[in-house]
Amino acid sequence: MATLTFETLTFRLHGTMLNVDLLKGFTTAIPLEDLEQLGEFSLPDTHTIAFPTLKQEKAAQKFSFLLNKHFAHLKTKLTGNLATYIHQNSGIPLIGNVAFGIVYRNSSIIEIKPVTSCNLDCVYCSISEGLSSTKHDFVVEKDYLVQELQKVIAVVNEPVEIHIGVQGEPFLYADIENLFVDLEALPLVHTISIDTNGTFLNKERIDRLAKFTKLQLNLSLDAIDEQIATKMAGTKSYNLNHVLDVIRQASAKMPRRPIVAPVLTQGYNEDEMEKIITFIQSLPRQPILGIQNFLQYKTGRSPAQEIPWKDFYARLQELEQQQQIKLRLGKNDFNIRETTELPKPFQEGDVMTAIIKCPDRFPHSVIAVAKGRTISVPQCEFKKDKKIKVKIVRDKHNIFTGKIVN
Ligand code: SF4
């Protein structure tokens, strides 16, 4: 009798299929006839599959082969977009891509990105993420991420902030609290900051999060007017009152004061800034307010013209004087320092052979792997494990883009 238990997987029978959810937000399905070829099976609980006629080792090997095969069709539940699970045995390194893994820009803030996808659809989203996204998604195994991060921290070898700034909503990552546990235990990590839209937080969760003394929540809030907030969030399901409540709770309970970060967007929320400041000032323990200027990005949504920086800072200064609050935050407020460079195994202009591992975020682009790094290769058809010759056209901060050469 073999019993296989997976904490990150949930099994559910559905007609002629076994539905397999990964980390709650991602799903695939295995046809029962494929499973039955392994022998009889049962589901003693939602995380366990048992094969009464197989030995443990054989069952593990055969089931893992089936899982891998069907993970090729893994989908993000929110959008139905295809997704790739990046784990210790996936053969996909965590450095090289801006959408997942580890992004280290030679500064004392190291970004980590365990997941992509979002439950909102904000009009100003700089990466066009959310419910209307059709991009390929990624989800990273927590232990793999922490293990690779520790290697980077060992190179940096000085106190760092870990910033969880994902292309999407990080609390969609079901392992997020376990990730906080691991990060909190790393001696060289002084801060764990995380950008969130706040929709997945609530009183109970904030009570749990309050035990993380290094955790700094950066919460979005674009308006106090319900209609404007919903319009900016891009979905009717946005519940402003819930988010306001989350901000109240987080301000009262989190060991570190949260940052509230509205995106000032012309034609949408210019008149909301005073109201947001009044709301912040009404809280017994005030969060830090970090108003951001909407900027147009090549891959982002473009609902408005940018406000010129000069006018933006003039507006902040005006609000600071009117409402007696500090709004202009600088590098010193975030304690950012330049740190040791991470070695680059190849540089712009180099030509090498790389192996295609999975699709990249955008259509007709792939992620290829060479020398422990990923390389984004646009205009390339996805064919798993195919060898291609690429020329590196971008190498800044160990984020690599390549071009196919013949
Ligand atoms: S919450 Fe963030 S990631 Fe999600 S759509 Fe809005 S801006 Fe984009």
pLDDT along the chain (406 residues), means of 10: 96 97 97 94 97 95 95 97 97 98 97 98 97 98 98 97 98 98 98 98 98 98 98 98 98 97 97 97 96 95 96 96 88 80 96 98 97 97 97 98 94
Is the CB of residue 172 below 6 angstroms from any atom belonging to ligand 1?
A: no
Strands 48-51 and 17-22, by their bridges, are: unpaired
Report the residue among 79, 125, 167 best suited for mutation to probe ligand 1: largest number of ligand atoms under 8 A from its CB. Answer: 125
Is the CB of residue 120 below 6 angstroms from any atom belonging to ligand 1?
A: yes
Report the residue among 79, 81, 116, 120 best suited for mutation to probe ligand 1: largest number of ligand atoms under 8 A from its CB. Answer: 120
C-alpha dihedral sign at 209, 210, 211, 217: positive
Of all protein residues, the one whose alpha carbon is nearest to atom 1 of ligand 1 is 197
Q: Which fold has domain 85-334?
A: TIM Barrel (3.20.20)
> Distance from the CA of 342 to the center of ligand 1, in angstroms?
30
Close Cβ partners of 123 (under 8 Å, ≥ 6 residues apart):
231, 232, 234, 265, 268, 301, 303
- The H or E element spanning position 334 is helix 331-334
C-alpha dihedral sign at 199, 204, 206, 212: negative
- The H or E element spanning position 220 is none
Report pTM.
0.96
Is the CB of residue 25 below 6 angstroms from any atom belonging to ligand 1?
A: no
Atom of ligand 1 nearest to the CA of 195: 2
Is the CB of residue 112 below 6 angstroms from any atom belonging to ligand 1?
A: no
- pLDDT value at position 335? 75
Q: How far apart are CA 358 and CA 301, in angstroms?
A: 26
User: How many angstroms separate the most distant Cα atoms in the chain?
Assistant: 75
> Distance from the CA of 222 to the center of ligand 1, in angstroms?
12
Angle between helices 142-156 and 176-184 (to 10 degrees): 30
- pLDDT value at position 182? 98
Domain positions in the chain are: 2-73, 85-334, 351-404
Beta-ladder partners of 83: 137
342-to-63, 102, 306 alpha-carbon distances in Å: 38, 12, 34
- pLDDT value at position 331? 65
Report the residue among 119, 131, 197 best suited for mutation to probe ligand 1: largest number of ligand atoms under 8 A from its CB. Answer: 197
Q: How far apart are CA 41 and CA 53, in angstroms?
A: 8
CATH number of the domain located at residue range(s) 351-404 in this protein: 2.40.50.140
Pick the CATH number of 2-73 from 1.10.15, 3.40.190, 3.40.50, 3.90.930: 3.90.930
